[in-house]
Chains A and B, each alone.
Chain A
Amino acid sequence: MIFNVEVELPSGKKCRVRELTNREYLTLIKFAQNKDFIGLTAFFEDIYIEPHLHIFDRLYLLIYVRMIYIDSSITLNLDSKDIDISLDTLLDKLEANYVDLEKKFKENNIEITLDIPCLTYYNQIEDLYISTIKCIKLQDNVVEFNTLNKTDQQEIINHLPASIFNIIKNYIIDIQDNLLQVNLIEENKTLGVQNLDVNILNNGVMQFINSLYSTDLKGFYTLIYMFQNTILPGSNYFFEMSPIETQIIVNAHKKRVSEENKKLQNQNQG
């Protein structure tokens, strides 16, 4: 069984996130370096994102994964100074920004529940609209729309009256103030840190996540080489570990080497 942890999302839903391996992290870095948002989205949806999670929860979840399996902070380079920002703070900000935007309406006897869009990245704004449909109730039939596969969703869309689309469009206009600028980092003039806002309605989530997971690919290959040849020669264990575990082992190795060097230096001096 792969190690996993439970996370409580801003909506109150709980899910378990499994450990990210270095093998997966390498794939992730490649997508991030290519700024391939579609590939990156497919990767996360395959491993971590459950279809019923809305974009706010998805953003929270992906920052959480980055925090617990890669590194707990991000480093901003401002005027040649490195400033570390804890991802925990970002998650707190997200929780504080979360507003319940669920809305119900009835059209032609069809009761529809709308909520924050259930998607990660979209090519057409119309897909964003459709992703706000959470539940459809007609007489005794209740369908949790956002848990259905794409084919079933499309089949239902083909039968919903267009007047519903107009109501959804108005819903997006109503909620856009809550989604256009989700503040993750507050301005700090003393440190020279500017506001960091994520625009959820304009594919801002994947742009932010891309920058969060993007790292130097060459540096990662150097780490693989060093690990496989110096720390655990002949072993393939590196690819099964998480990036954060790797860092702990690399740090321990560096400490040991440094202590041995000091010892040698002392012996030579003595």
Chain B
Amino acid sequence: MNSDVKSLLTDLQKINEDNTISIKVPSTNKKASFKLINVSQQKKLLTSALEGFDGVIKRTNILNSILFDNCVNDVEFLIVDRSAVLLALRKEIIGTDITIKDTTYSLDNLEPFDMSSIELASSVEYDNIKINLKVPTLKIDTEVNSKIEKEFLKLESQEDKIKRSLDLVISYETSKYIESVYVGEHTISFDEISPYERRIVVDNLPLALNNKILEYIEPIKKAIDNTLQVADEVVVEIDASFLTPD
């Protein structure tokens, strides 16, 4: 790398450090400083739109990495923080207006995330099985998504991907919310096993117990969706072009 490039990078780094915005992180209820997104992050995001099913999973991780890489403070993000931070970044970069199906809405009309509407941790039981549940961190979300991405790559045809994606995604998605499983005297801590092993455990749970886990997850998902509902039956989609002007 020549000295001109090094020197330009130093100056650019300084601009990025000076150019931060303060965003309230719902899970901590505190403000954190975020650098604005860069060209490379935007390029990765836009490219994910061209990668079909693989791109959808990849995109979530690209969005997660924006939170990790651009946050100046040390924060352990939960999945409920993602949309709040990305909405604030979009407002700063592009503005408050968003056009959905030819109608323009203001992002300022969105309700902030209500932490009191969700349970951060809970437990469910069935027969002699007890499961501790919690809202997953973005770190867990990223780790499991990476595994789903790899599993998708093994499926060669788009047809296979369509057929198997639902099964795969549901099992992996459920596993993100499990902290530990107690069966009689045996305990499995999900922090200590791989994403694949987590999925196998989920796939072997009794259906009744699985339904109880889904009952825990549903209001969390709903609370996230509510923060993206800009008008009746109109939801802001955080897709590949979310951080690009309409």
Q: Knowing A152-B1, A161-B19, say if A136 contacts B40 (CB, 8 Å).
A: no
Question: What is the distance, in angstroms, from A153's C-beta to the closest C-beta of chain B?
Answer: 9
In contact, B7 and A141 (Cβ under 8 angstroms): yes
Of B15, B43, B243, the contact of A110 (CB 8 Å cutoff): B15
Binds A, one of B31-39, B75-83, B171-179: B31-39
* B contact residues around A253 at 8 Å (CB): none
Cα-based distance from A169 to B43 in the complex (angstroms):
11
Of B5, B42, B50, B245, the contact of A143 (CB 8 Å cutoff): B5
Q: Knowing A124-B47, A138-B11, say if A160 contacts B38 (CB, 8 Å).
A: yes
- Report which residue of B12, B16, B41 has the largest number of chain A beta carbons within 10 angstroms of its beta carbon: B12
Interface contacts (Cβ under 8 Å), in number, total: 83
* B contact residues around A119 at 8 Å (CB): none
In contact, A156 and B47 (Cβ under 8 angstroms): no
Is there a chain B Cβ closer than 8 Å to A157's Cβ?
A: yes
Question: What is the distance, in angstroms, from B148's C-beta to the closest C-beta of chain A?
Answer: 23
Q: Knowing A141-B7, A143-B5, A166-B244, say if A159 contacts B43 (CB, 8 Å).
A: no
In contact, A159 and B38 (Cβ under 8 angstroms): yes
In contact, A143 and B40 (Cβ under 8 angstroms): no
Is there a chain B Cβ closer than 8 Å to A185's Cβ?
A: no
* B contact residues around A129 at 8 Å (CB): 43
Is there a chain A Cβ closer than 8 Å to B9's Cβ?
A: yes
In contact, A165 and B5 (Cβ under 8 angstroms): no
In contact, A143 and B4 (Cβ under 8 angstroms): yes
**Considering the complex, which residues of chain A in the window 122-150 have a beta carbon less than 8 Å from any beta carbon of chain B?**
124, 126, 129-130, 136, 138-139, 141-143, 148
Is there a chain A Cβ closer than 8 Å to B235's Cβ?
A: no
Is there a chain B Cβ closer than 8 Å to A174's Cβ?
A: no
Cα-based distance from A68 to B41 in the complex (angstroms):
44
Is there a chain A Cβ closer than 8 Å to B193's Cβ?
A: no
* B contact residues around A164 at 8 Å (CB): 39
Is there a chain A Cβ closer than 8 Å to B93's Cβ?
A: yes
Q: Knowing A161-B36, A162-B93, say if A155 contacts B5 (CB, 8 Å).
A: yes
* A contact residues around B168 at 8 Å (CB): none
Closest residue of chain A to B5 (Cβ to Cβ) is A152
Cα-based distance from A124 to B50 in the complex (angstroms):
9
Cα-based distance from A217 to B162 in the complex (angstroms):
42
In contact, B8 and A162 (Cβ under 8 angstroms): no
Is there a chain B Cβ closer than 8 Å to A269's Cβ?
A: no
Interface residues as binary, B86-101 with A (CB distance below 8 Å gives 1, 0 otherwise): 0000000110000000
Cα-based distance from A139 to B8 in the complex (angstroms):
9
Cα-based distance from A211 to B181 in the complex (angstroms):
64
Question: What is the distance, in angstroms, from B3's C-beta to the closest C-beta of chain A?
Answer: 9
* A contact residues around B36 at 8 Å (CB): 161-163
Of A154, A158, A169, the contact of B244 (CB 8 Å cutoff): A169
* Chain B interface bracket (under 10, 10 to 19, 20 to 34, 35 or more): 20 to 34
Is there a chain B Cβ closer than 8 Å to A190's Cβ?
A: no
Cα-based distance from A126 to B36 in the complex (angstroms):
19
* B contact residues around A130 at 8 Å (CB): 39, 43
* A contact residues around B39 at 8 Å (CB): 130, 157-158, 160-162, 164-165
* A contact residues around B1 at 8 Å (CB): 151-152, 155
**Considering the complex, which residues of chain B in the window 1-58 have a beta carbon less than 8 Å from any beta carbon of chain A?**
1-2, 4-5, 7-9, 11-13, 15-16, 19, 36-43, 46-47, 50
Cα-based distance from A109 to B47 in the complex (angstroms):
28
Is there a chain B Cβ closer than 8 Å to A230's Cβ?
A: no
**Considering the complex, which residues of chain A in the window 50-64 have a beta carbon less than 8 Å from any beta carbon of chain B?**
none
Is there a chain B Cβ closer than 8 Å to A108's Cβ?
A: yes
* A contact residues around B38 at 8 Å (CB): 157-162
Closest residue of chain B to A136 (Cβ to Cβ) is B8
Closest residue of chain B to A133 (Cβ to Cβ) is B39
Cα-based distance from A130 to B39 in the complex (angstroms):
9
In contact, B15 and A161 (Cβ under 8 angstroms): yes
Interface residues as binary, B233-246 with A (CB distance below 8 Å gives 1, 0 otherwise): 00000000001110
In contact, A165 and B42 (Cβ under 8 angstroms): yes
Cα-based distance from A129 to B15 in the complex (angstroms):
22
* Interchain residue pairs A-B with the least CB separation, the first 5: A159-B12, A162-B42, A160-B39, A126-B43, A158-B40
CB<8 Å pairs between A and B, sample of 10: A108-B15, A109-B15, A130-B43, A139-B11, A152-B1, A158-B38, A161-B37, A162-B36, A165-B39, A166-B244
Extra contacts, 10 of them, besides A136-B8, A141-B7 (Cβ < 8 A), are A124-B50, A126-B46, A138-B8, A139-B11, A152-B1, A152-B5, A155-B9, A161-B37, A161-B38, A166-B94
Measured CB to CB, the residues of B under 8 A from A are: 1-2, 4-5, 7-9, 11-13, 15-16, 19, 36-43, 46-47, 50, 93-94, 243-245
Measured CB to CB, the residues of A under 8 A from B are: 108-110, 124, 126, 129-130, 136, 138-139, 141-143, 148, 151-152, 154-166, 169
